[in-house]
Chains A and B, each alone.
Chain A
Amino acid sequence: MDKKRPKHLALYLIKLPLPGMVSILHRVSGLLLFLALPPLLLMLQYSLRSIETYTQLAGLLAHPLAKLTLLGLLWAFLHHFCAGLRYLAIDLHYVRDLALARGSSWMVIAASLGLTMLIGVKLW
């Protein structure tokens, strides 16, 4: 058989499979949460230090842009949480075949988005 070399792969046509999507989002969300550590710690500090700083923080977080940012971080946390549970399940050999791998990936994406919307609506 005559193979054509070199092969040029059309990378933009290759779709990342769903478990790969969950995986890269696990990284992205983890990095986001790492970068958000200083403001989150600052928020904890303001919420605990005194009633003045507490009300100051509450006022700041009432801003729609702050709420939107927090909602984004909430998604990052929930995705990282759900995908993390999936990886622990994989470590324990609960995900044995492709169907389970895909099904659990859908569950992770749906659960984290669903919970984000649910909590978002409740907080808004």
Chain B
Amino acid sequence: MNRIVTGAHYGLRDWLIQRITAVILAAYSVALAGYLLWQPYLDYDSWTGLFSSQAVRSFTLLFLLCVFYHAWIGVRDIVMDYVKPTGIRLVIHTLTILALLLYGIWSVEILWGM
């Protein structure tokens, strides 16, 4: 009988996503840091002015969604390493996913509800 319990490379997709999101996070962070350094005096008007641009909002949402996916893979790995009882692990995984999904909805509200 030929049973495949877990396929080979089943972690490759997450491994790759972890790195792709990391590159996007780094690029956005450097861009934002550059803008903040460029802008010597930051006040409410210039800050909201920046976010009034549709492109900035979209890239910020993309950044945040990448943060949440990146965080999911990282937290999942940490939990898999240190939390052995299946029940507790399942609860933490579920709460993490729910929290991150809510953060995603919240992010849209923040960026488009201002």
A residues touching B (Cβ–Cβ < 8 Å)? 27, 30-31, 33-34, 37-38, 41, 44-45, 47-49, 51, 54-55, 77, 81, 84-85, 88, 91
The size of the chain B interface, using a CB distance under 8 A, is 22
Which chain B residues border A27 with CB–CB below 8 Å?
A: 74, 78
Q: Pick the residue among B29, B103, B110, B111 that contacts A81 (CB under 8 A).
A: B29
Which chain A residues border B22 with CB–CB below 8 Å?
A: 84, 88
Q: Which of B64-112 contact A (CB under 8 A)?
A: 67, 71, 74-75, 78, 99, 103, 106-107, 109-111
Which chain A residues border B23 with CB–CB below 8 Å?
A: 88
How many A-B residue pairs have C-beta atoms within 8 angstroms? Tell me. 47
Majority secondary structure of chain A interface residues (helix, strand, loop or mixed): helix
Closest CB in chain B relative to A28 CB, distance in Å = 10
- Are B26 and A49 in touch, CB under 8 angstroms? no
- Are B78 and A88 in touch, CB under 8 angstroms? no
Q: Which of B48-63 contact A (CB under 8 A)?
A: 48, 51
- Are A48 and B110 in touch, CB under 8 angstroms? yes
- Are A31 and B78 in touch, CB under 8 angstroms? yes
- The proximity string for B residues 7-47 relative to A, scoring 1 for CB distances below 8 Å and 0 otherwise, is 00000000000010011001001000000000000001001
Closest CB in chain B relative to A87 CB, distance in Å = 8
- Are B26 and A41 in touch, CB under 8 angstroms? no
Given contacts A31-B78, A48-B51, A88-B19, contact A41 B107 (CB under 8 A): yes
